[in-house]
């Protein structure tokens, strides 16, 4: 009798899992996609000793970029490359449009690449001669200085998406939203109130994490706290709005868990939370620009590490604000009480 009960319970639980198609396929497919994606993003770079950025060209007579030990990273303009050079994200920079090169004097790897580059110029019969040098100043931030914006952004992402998504799905599953439907409350008012409540909670949590870790680690903060606060508010609102989109129709907490994980893990992998995407395939860097987490982390690092003002991070804030409006409109249009 005990064995029969065990078999019945075992079969019931197994079939319950298999019939929940969202969770079942998530556990099967997502790990495979994650491994393949990370393998594609970071394969083939283990033997590279130096990262050299360049604009224009490249000139075939500059053999530095073709060396096996050098990873050549193209940039659309010199300003963005010099900013990364100052942060030690690349070791050297060559501008073929102005026949110039730049080195960070505080980077030992950069000085070594410069000597190699100049030696190649001296040995070149022509075309590459006449390059002028530009010096960039900037200490290498500690890994924790670079990591803190990513960790805060990750905490905001999980608190916003799962804090809103699971609550609303549970309300719908338990019939709470069905009762709300009988009241004069409009869908837009309901989702806006949910977003405002979660904003206060996540903002206070993020401020506590920031202050607590800074008290111990004393990480780099060159910009304005007010600018960082404004960027954080926009980032939280955008992520909350995204969570509302996925919570507007779902009735199963298991399905909500799977869908939200599908959204969060690619963002964690491709938004530069734990490691820089410099030198990764261009298609991945392009895809990452669609994620709100990417724009928050990029703006926060610019404020904290470079002392950037509002004008410098305005493009990131504009994207976050625009995505927030779009997500809220979609959530209100798709929202169902039952």
Cα torsion 233, 237, 243, 247 to 10°: value is 140
Nearest Cα residue to 92 out of 135, 51, 141, 59: 51
The enclosing H or E element of 237 equals: helix 225-247
**Cβ count within 10 A of residue 149:** 26
Rounded to the nearest 5°, which phi and psi values hold at 102? -135, 145
The enclosing H or E element of 53 equals: strand 50-55
pTM for the model stands at: 0.66
Nearest Cα residue to 240 out of 199, 203, 268: 199
**pLDDT value for 167:** 73
Furthest CA-CA distance within the chain: 91
Q: Is 335 helix (H, G, I), strand (E, B) or coil?
A: coil
List helix spans (H) across 248-271.
253-270
What angle do the packed helices 143-174 and 187-217 form, to 10 degrees? 150
Cross-strand pairs, 71 = 51
**pLDDT value for 318:** 92
Ranges of residues in the chain whose predicted pLDDT is under 50: none
């Amino acid at each position: 009798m005990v064995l029969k009960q065990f078999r019945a319970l075992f079969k019931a639980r197994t079939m319950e899992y298999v019939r929940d198609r969202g969770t079942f396929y998530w556990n099967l497919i997502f790990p495979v996609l994650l491994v393949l994606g990370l393998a594609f993003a970071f394969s083939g770079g283990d033997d590279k000793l130096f990262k050299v950025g360049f604009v224009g060209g490249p000139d075939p007579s500059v053999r530095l970029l073709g060396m096996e030990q050098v990873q050549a990273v193209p940039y659309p303009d010199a300003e963005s490359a010099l900013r990364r050079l100052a942060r030690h994200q690349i070791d050297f920079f060559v501008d073929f449009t102005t026949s110039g090169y730049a080195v960070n004097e505080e980077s030992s790897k950069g000085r070594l690449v410069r000597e190699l580059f100049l030696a190649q110029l001296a040995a070149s019969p022509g075309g590459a001669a006449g390059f002028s040098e530009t010096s960039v100043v900037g200490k290498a931030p500690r890994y924790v200085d670079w990591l803190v914006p990513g960790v805060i952004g990750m905490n905001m992402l999980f608190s916003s998406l799962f804090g809103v998504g699971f609550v609303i799905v549970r309300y719908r599953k338990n019939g709470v939203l069905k009762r709300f439907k009988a009241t004069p409350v409009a869908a837009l008012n309901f989702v806006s109130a949910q977003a405002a409540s979660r904003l206060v909670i996540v903002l206070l949590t993020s401020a506590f994490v920031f202050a607590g870790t800074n008290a111990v680690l004393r990480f780099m903060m060159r910009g304005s706290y007010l600018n960082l606060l404004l960027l954080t508010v926009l980032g939280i609102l955008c992520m909350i709005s995204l969570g509302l989109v996925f919570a507007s129709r779902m009735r199963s907490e298991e399905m909500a868990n799977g869908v939200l994980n599908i959204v969060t893990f690619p963002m964690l992998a491709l938004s530069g939370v734990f490691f820089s995407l410099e030198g990764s395939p261009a298609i991945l860097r392009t895809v990452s620009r669609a994620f709100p987490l990417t724009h928050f982390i990029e703006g926060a690092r610019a404020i904290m590490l470079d002392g950037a003002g509002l004008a410098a991070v305005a493009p990131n804030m504009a994207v976050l604000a625009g995505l927030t409006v779009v997500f809220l409109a979609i959530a209100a249009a798709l929202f169902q009480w039952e």
